[in-house]
Structures are given as structure tokens and as C-alpha cells.
Amino acid sequence: MALLGTLLALPGEKSGLASRRPTVRVLQYNLCGAARACPWNAGGSGRGTSVARLVQAAAQFEPDIVTVNEICLTQYDALKSQLARAGWRMDGTYASSQDNVPACGRTGRFGEAVLSRGDVPDGRQDYRRFTHTGGETYTNGGSTVPVHRGLLCAHTRVRGKRVVACTAHTYSKAPEQLREIRDWTDGFSRNVPVVLAGDLNLPPDAPSLSVLTARFTEADRADDASTADGRKIDYLFAGRSHVRSCGADVVKYRESDHALLKGWFRFAS
């Protein structure tokens, strides 16, 4: 039986009593779905795009939660369909920070998503726009419009445990957005673990990041490179008071300037 417990443990986990605590697997990825830096994607979701890569990773890793940044609404719909066809159906919620991105098709919607193996009720979307924007704008076709980023959360249940799963893609020139994330997540029930993942556009030594690291445990602080050019700006956290152990791997793909984070958190029962 001891051998069986060891074989069933996730990479980096210990067997025994710890293996019986609820564990949540999380994938975090900046899809770069409509950015010029990702021309192979260009808002697409077919073979060879980052959507297909994410589906493949999910089918192999079997995550409980998937958080995605820089994803078109059309890509989000395709992601859910492709996950279901791959045998790993997930429910989810989507919010856009921009509604005028041509590569995102007819709606132009471009933003972020949270998916869960548990139910995510459509009528209970929890999306909070940041009040601090840093004056960020987006120009297309001669028209300049403000960009409204925010924190998107799904109140769900995975492996029989209530979890709040959140993602954010913050603006590097508006570090106040991190304080807003802290304040909003502090308002959730202290009995429910919060998973927070996303592209924070700040390196680990950025002073403003401390408002989150004081409250959250990072899945893998040892890995300091989560982008193709060796910078770390993508993170995977969970509420410090609930985490008993954790770990993560970083996977880099040739077609993306962001890495995919594959992490797990073991929570107290």
C-alpha cells in the first residue's frame, strides 16, 4: 500500500497523510491570442495555435482549473469545445478588457478566462474591473480607446472542495492593480482557498508584488524564468493559510513568448 501511495502521488508530492488532503491541479497560460508578438495565433484556434497546445497540455495534465490571459472570446468558445472532444470537459467564465481587436473576429472581444472541472454558474460571474488603469489605451484603425483590465474569478468546487479560482493580466504601469487584487481576494470567505494565477507583468523582485506574496504562496518560486526571453512575469499562487504543499513545472513552446505553468496545491482537509 505504501508503494501504491507513492505511485499515485503527483510529481514532487509526498505520499502518506499528505496524499489524502485535497489537491488542486492548475494550468496557467498567457495565450497571446491576438498580439503581433504571436503571429501564428492571430486570434485562431485551429491546429498549430496556442489553443491546440493548451488543449493538448490539459488532456495530459488533467487540471482541475485552467486560467488564461490574452484570449479572444472566439478562442475561449473553441477551447471549451476542443477540451470536451479531448475527453476533459470544463465549465468556465470569460471577461474582456477590450472589444475592438480585429484579430478576435466579429465581436472583437479580447480578455481572460477561468475554467473549472466543477460547475461555474453563468449567472454568478465575478469580474471586477480595476479602478487604476495607468491610462492604458489601445489604438486600431485610427481610433484610440481605453483598456479596462480586471480580476476574473470563478466560485466553483473541485474534488469536493469549494475553491475560488481567479486570474488577472495586470498592467506594468499600474502597480496599484495588485493592491486591488489583494483587497478583493481578502473579501472572500477565509474558509475557502483562493487560487490566483496570471500574467502580472512584473519581475519577482518588484516591490509592488509584495502585497500579494505576503498573502499568497507561489507554486514554484525557484523557477525564475516563465517567458521565452528569460523573464518571469507569469505566476501561480494560492492563499497562504490554506496551502500545505505545492509545486509547479514550466513548459515553454517555440510559438509563444509566454510559458505554460503546470502547478498543484495541496490544501488542508
Residue 6 pLDDT class (50, 70, 90 cuts): very low
Write the pLDDT tens digit of every residue in 31-71.
988 877 777 788 999 998 999 999 999 999 999 999 999 99
- Residue 227, pLDDT score: 66
Output the nine-digit C-alpha cell for 38: 504571436
Cell of 132: 487604476
In the chain, what are the domain boundaries?
Answer: 23-267
Locate 46 and state its grid cell.
Answer: 485551429
* Continuous H helices in the chain: 2-8, 50-61, 73-85, 176-186, 210-213
CA distances from 140 to 99, 102, 143, 144, 199 (A): 11, 8, 5, 6, 23
DSSP states along 6-38? HHHSPTT---GGGGGS-EEEEEEEE--TT-TT-
- Per-residue pLDDT of 94-141, as tens digits, reads 999 999 898 899 889 999 999 999 999 877 789 999 999 999 998 887
Class of domain 23-267: alpha beta
Confirm whether pTM is higher than 0.85. yes
Sheet of 234-239: strand order equals 126-129, 150-158, 161-169, 194-199, 234-239, 216-218
The C-alpha atoms of residue 119 and residue 155 are separated, in whole angstroms, by: 9
pLDDT tens digits, one per residue of 257-269: 788 999 999 998 7
| Mean pLDDT computed over every residue of the chain | 88
pLDDT at 255: 66
Question: Which one-letter DSSP state was computed for residue 5?
Answer: H
